[in-house]
Amino acid sequence: MLSVAVSWDLYLQTRSAAVLGNVGFVQVAPFLMFALFAGHAADRYDRRRIMIFTQALVIAATFLLVSRPPSVTLIYSALFLTAAARAFQGPSRLAILPHVVAKDGLRNAITWNSSAQEIANVSGPAVAGLLLASVGSKTVYIVQLVCATLTLACFQLLRVRRVEASPMVPSVDRKELLEGIRFVRADKLILPAISLDLFGVLFGGATALLPIYAVEILHTGARGLGWLRAAQSLGAVSMAILTSHVPKPRRAGQTLLWAVGGFGAATIVFGISRSFWLSFAMLLLTGAFDNVSVVLRQSLVQTRTPDYLKGRVLSVQNIFVSCSNQLGAVESGWTAAWFGPVISVAGGGLATIAIVAAFAAGSAALRRWSQ
């Protein structure tokens, strides 16, 4: 809901694609600044306590939007604080999962964990669009504040199995901070898998430009924007439910390549579409393909990484993911400012397909990856 409301407020205030794109800069900077420290903290300290503390910071940032008129500066500040909190929360939240569920249920747990988030992402944008059209953005921020507080309560109630002490030393030195980077760089499968996602989404993301499509191209307004934002998550939830009930793909590498390629193709059709329902369907497909990529990548990292390194490795993955999503928004915004939104989105989809072809040709380990 927050992402829909702030993008709507920013666009109404500025009518600028660049301002929408710069949201990516504001949100990616904390990940680049704090990700390695966040991974070290997840491996050294109580992961549940880190989640609780950072969620409190998310609540404080959301309260800023409730308490004052949402200017560009205030929105950017709130987004920066939220991104900083999530930069520290992400590695702990992902690394704690194997200590909440049994080992043989980890893959399904990853799928259902993704589904739970996507269900929120389906309902959130749709509800935000309805609230924006009827009562305005401040109500959206208030509801978001309530949801963030409920999340804090869930973290406090979380039961975690006792974890053996990490073999790390108490001090924070450069060697410990960079251990996750060294592990990812040395792994011939993890590195190309997360790199494919980075470059594929970097050029193929259209989310940042949805307010422009809703107002100027599809002419649907705030309510239509909410449904467009929900479409990707609806597709992801549908795919997650399907994959949780079918055997895991044996040829995981080829499945990943086809999924990212399908993401790019659906993005191209969305970029040139003038029909709301066709655009909605294409966003639905991008969400479904992206969910396949997320589950495969998360399963790969969780199963190939030792627990004492998991926080730092997941922090490296978070750098890749945040760069793809947020810098992708920057790329989309600036390209749209120069060449228009249609060229930005469709061209990004073409670039995604070219990147998939390059990875398919250049990474034998990824092509041959089997589960």
The confidence score (pLDDT) of residue 327 equals 66
Greatest distance between any 2 Cα atoms in the chain:
58
| Residue 165 falls inside a structural domain | no
Question: Which of 42, 2, 331 lies closest to 199 in space, CA to CA?
Answer: 331
153: confidence class by pLDDT, cuts 50, 70, 90: very high
Q: What whole-number distance in Å separates Cα of residue 157 and Cα of residue 172? A: 30
Mean pLDDT, range 356-363, rounded to an integer: 88
Residues 6+ apart with CB under 8 A from 172: 37, 40
Verdict on whether the full-model pTM lies above 0.85:
no
186: confidence class by pLDDT, cuts 50, 70, 90: confident
Domain limits for position 271 = 2-159+175-367
Q: Do the Cβ atoms of 159 and 23 come closer than 8 Å?
A: no
Mean pLDDT of the chain: 81
205: confidence class by pLDDT, cuts 50, 70, 90: low
Q: Do the Cβ atoms of 109 and 97 come closer than 8 Å?
A: yes
The confidence score (pLDDT) of residue 345 equals 86
| Residue 170 falls inside a structural domain | no
Q: Residue 247 corresponds to which tokens in the numbers above?
A: 């055997």
More confident residue, 298 or 270: 270
The confidence score (pLDDT) of residue 168 equals 47
| Residue 166 falls inside a structural domain | no
270, amino acid identity: F
- Indicate whether 165 pLDDT > 50: no
More confident residue, 189 or 52: 52
The confidence score (pLDDT) of residue 52 equals 94
The CATH number given to whatever domain includes residue 75 is 1.20.1250.20
The confidence score (pLDDT) of residue 298 equals 77
324: confidence class by pLDDT, cuts 50, 70, 90: low
- Indicate whether 169 pLDDT > 50: no
Q: Give 174: exposed, middle or buried? Use CB within 10 Å, 0-12, 13-18, 19+.
A: exposed
Q: What are phi and psi of 49, to 5 degrees?
A: -65, -40
- Please measure the distance between the N-terminal and C-terminal CA atoms of the chain and give it in whole angstroms: 36
More confident residue, 120 or 43: 43
* Total residues found in the chain within this entry: 371
Mean pLDDT, range 298-303, rounded to an integer: 78
Q: What share of the chain is helix, strand, coil (3-state, %, to 5)?
A: 85, 0, 15
The confidence score (pLDDT) of residue 252 equals 82
| Residue 29 falls inside a structural domain | yes
Alpha-carbon separation of residue 317 from 87, 103, 184 (angstroms):
11, 21, 9
Q: What whole-number distance in Å separates Cα of residue 87 and Cα of residue 159? A: 22
Helix/strand/coil for 370: coil
Q: What whole-number distance in Å separates Cα of residue 287 and Cα of residue 237? A: 8
Least confident of 60-64, 139-143, 151-155, 195-199: 195-199
DSSP per position, 198-226:
HHHHHHH--GGGHHHIIIIIS--HHHHHH
Mean pLDDT, range 165-187, rounded to an integer: 65
Tally of domains within the chain:
1
Mean pLDDT, range 287-312, rounded to an integer: 81
Q: Which of 4-8, 76-80, 110-114, 212-216 is modeled with the greatest confidence?
A: 76-80
Which ranges of 45-178 does DSSP label H, i.e. alpha helix?
A: 47-67, 72-95, 106-134, 137-157, 174-177
Least confident of 252-266, 321-335, 345-359: 321-335
Q: What are phi and psi of 206, to 5 degrees?
A: -115, 0
Using a CB cutoff of 8 Å and minimum separation of 24, what contacts does 105-108 make? Answer: 106/299, 106/302, 106/303, 107/248, 107/295, 107/299, 108/244
Question: Which of 249, 257, 289, 259 lies closest to 360 in space, CA to CA?
Answer: 257
Q: Residue 357 corresponds to which tokens in the numbers above?
A: 């072809």
The confidence score (pLDDT) of residue 269 equals 93
| Residue 234 falls inside a structural domain | yes
The helix (H) or strand (E) run that includes residue 301 is helix 276-304
The helix (H) or strand (E) run that includes residue 364 is helix 364-367
